[in-house]
Amino acid sequence: MNFALTEEQQMIQDMARKFAEREIKPVAAELDRTHEHPAEIVAKMGELGLMGITIPEEYGGAGMDYICYVLSMIEISKACASCGVIMSVCNSLYNFPVYAYGTEEQKQKYLKPVASGEALGCYGLTESSAGSDAAKMRTTAVLDGNEWVINGEKKFITNGNVARYCVLAAVTDKSAGYKGISSFVVDLENTPGFRVGTVEDKMGINASGTAELVFEDARIPKENLLGKAGEGFRQMLTTLDGGRIGIASQALGIGRAALEESIEYSKSREQFGQPIANFQAIQWKIADMATQLDAAELLTLRAAWLEENKLHYEKEAAMAKLLASDVAMWAAVEGVQVLGGYGFCKEYPMERHMRDAKITQIYEGTNEIMRLVIARSILKKR
């Protein structure tokens, strides 16, 4: 077993770290305050290849491996969790299904612009009454001549208010249950009958837009079906497995930020005539944070390695997301404690880390659902 990073992996980690520290970290608090979409930063991330890391160069991507994806996601999310999720959704939830299930023509037309960073992608699965139980979706797509006519509303869609393209799940055969779900690639800018609905006001990841997508007799070309009709649910499960590696990495970035800022603060803050880092109570928090974060990072890298090597990674991705998100949430709460009253104030980024960490336990499958996925996978083998 070899834990050493390759030259390419070290290079992307280093590049993403430098970029995030120089261009993202200084503006992260302001982005959180204004809720503004970080368009300029995202455009630069595209130029650096971060919006299509694992996609081959012929389709606009950087042609790197899933370890590179994890390492760069951690660095970007450490500076700004909103930028992290914008990147993760494009890479895992949009690029992946278009690359894996799209035709050559679809890849040229719909993958290239997102993988190269020219446009943003989003992923429309959730509905107001279909969250964890996504198969209960009501959005329909009905074939009418050479077009699919789409009706329904998607809820909580990351990048939904800024994305040009969407991988959308809809019911094409109501009588077939989850086998009647299909997915489509939609050019949102050129789809009559589509509009962006409510943009959510959230607790955290404020610079990442979370929007409703509304389709009212929206028409898309017949050839925009992704894969075959009825394969959408299966595609979704595989897509979300990969997405969970992205969210685990986002969580790790938030957790690492909490740890680094706790270390820095505890060395400079003096009480009772000495740095608070001298107190065992603080040292144990830092030791536990570092240990738990390393454990979660190893799980995440294992899942990425499995995905890269085309082995089963459903359970391992769920484990990584479960542990990394719980550790990030806990580390951020501990981080606030290390900073005392200052941790509770917006003068320091720690309270933002705490707000940002929470969502990683919820989206792309809640941690209750992660346990269900893990348990099912273990029990079916016995």
**Active-site residue set:** 364
Q: For residue 72, give every residue at least 6 positions away whose Cβ sits within 8 Å of its Cβ, in sequence order, or none.
A: 12, 13, 15, 16, 50, 53, 87
* Residue 68 binding ligand FAD, by CB under 6 A: no
Least distance (Å) from ligand FAD to the CB of residue 130? Answer: 7
Spatial contact of 213 and 197, defined as CB atoms under 8 Å apart: yes
Q: Which is closer to ligand FAD, CB of 44 or CB of 202?
A: 202
Element (H, E) at 330: helix 314-339
* Residue 366 binding ligand FAD, by CB under 6 A: yes
Between CA 120 and CA 127, with CA 124 as vertex, the angle to 5 degrees is 145
Give Cα separations from 36 to 13, 82, 106, 122 (angstroms).
26, 10, 31, 17
Q: Which is closer to ligand FAD, CB of 29 or CB of 372?
A: 372
User: 3-class SS at 313?
Assistant: coil
Least distance (Å) from ligand FAD to the CB of residue 170? Answer: 12
* Residue 363 binding ligand FAD, by CB under 6 A: yes
* Residue 237 binding ligand FAD, by CB under 6 A: no
CA dihedral 255, 260, 261, 267 (to 10 degrees): 140
Least distance (Å) from ligand FAD to the CB of residue 148? Answer: 19
Give the interface segment with ligand FAD, choosing from 101-109, 191-199, 248-256, 368-376 (CB under 6 A).
368-376
Q: Which is closer to ligand FAD, CB of 117 or CB of 365?
A: 365
Burial class (CB in 10 A: 0-12, 13-18, 19+), 11: middle
Give the interface segment with ligand FAD, choosing from 55-63, 189-197, 306-314, 366-374 (CB under 6 A).
366-374
CA dist., res. 279 & res. 339, Å (int): 13
Q: Which is closer to ligand FAD, CB of 157 or CB of 296?
A: 157
* Residue 132 binding ligand FAD, by CB under 6 A: yes
Between CA 282 and CA 288, with CA 268 as vertex, the angle to 5 degrees is 25
Least distance (Å) from ligand FAD to the CB of residue 176? Answer: 21
* Number of chain residues interacting with ligand FAD (CB under 6 A): 22
Pairing status of strand 181-187 against strand 165-171: antiparallel
Q: Which is closer to ligand FAD, CB of 68 or CB of 122?
A: 122
Residue choice 106, 191, 210, 249 for contact with ligand FAD (CB under 6 A): 210
* Residue 369 binding ligand FAD, by CB under 6 A: yes
Q: Which of residues 142-201 bind ligand FAD (CB under 6 A)?
A: 156-158
Interface mask (CB under 6 A) for ligand FAD, residues 110-129, using x and -? Answer: ------------xxxxx---
- Burial code (b: 16+ CB inside 10 Å, e: under 16) for 20-57 equals beebbeebbeebbeeeebbeebbeebbebbbbbbbbee
Helix residue ranges per DSSP H, 126-279: 232-268
Least distance (Å) from ligand FAD to the CB of residue 163? Answer: 9
Q: Which of residues 78-117 bind ligand FAD (CB under 6 A)?
A: 89
Which residues sit at the interface with ligand FAD, rule CB under 6 A? 89, 122-126, 131-132, 156-158, 202, 210, 359, 362-366, 368-369, 372
